[in-house]
Amino acid sequence: MPKRDFKNKIIVITGAAGGLGQALCRRFGAAGAVIIGLDRAAASLEQLAQQCRRNHLNFTGYVCDVTDFEATQQILHNILQQFGRIEVLINNAGISHRSRFVRTNLSVIHQVMAVNFFGALHCTAAALPALIQNKGMIIVLSSVAGFSPLIGRTGYAASKHALHGFFESLRTEVNGEGVHILMVCPSFIATPINKNALGGDGKPVQHEQVIVGKKMPPEEAAQRIFTAASHEKKFLIIG
């Protein structure tokens, strides 16, 4: 039997306008949750909001760059003022790069860390008091790169390893206060993150990604995440 029911729960999802982000908004929204979507892409966020309204899902979007802590903190404060609580935080925002380290500008790795690690850190820091108060949940989108080598993806792997170090340690601090943390490690999902990957020079990468197996539809990944969250799993590998 599921341990968590997400009906009427206030769920904040970062990177909401991306492929997996949209699928997560739809899946948790279909369960009756109140979805707060954060993304820096204003036009895509508005399209998502319109789609959710057509499907009678309770969705509110905020334009937010999670790499900016002060701006993120203010938006989380505004959410708490408007909705009164936050019960689930899904740290989904992320970017990737594809280039061997010897041909990668360090600014690219700084950018990847800023979104993938510090973005999650900023949102968690701003939301954690509310999550503790409501015995809530944090869902972290890591990757198989968070525990396995990935050629040509040193910065991406570093950012995902950092997520594991931080959130698995945080779990030991907040578990006694009723806050649950789920680490999600997908392999290859059919989302725009790989099309938007950075090359070693910081520009969009030109070569195709090499993958093993087939890419999973984001809807299937979102369903697996929803099921794992409902059963309060600590770790989920997808694909």
Distances (CA, A) of 53 to 22, 39, 59, 130: 13, 18, 7, 27
In the annotation, is 156 catalytic? Answer: yes
Under a CB-based contact definition with an 8 Å cutoff, are residues 112 and 119 in contact?
A: no
Q: 100: which DSSP letter?
A: -
At residue 237, what is the residue type?
A: I
Under a CB-based contact definition with an 8 Å cutoff, are residues 55 and 123 in contact?
A: no
Enumerate residues 6+ apart whose C-beta is below 8 A from 97.
Answer: 104, 108, 109, 112, 153, 155, 156, 197, 198, 199, 200, 205
Enumerate residues 6+ apart whose C-beta is below 8 A from 150.
Answer: 144, 156, 157
Q: Which of these is catalytic: 156, 180, 236, 238?
A: 156
Residues with a catalytic annotation lie at: 156
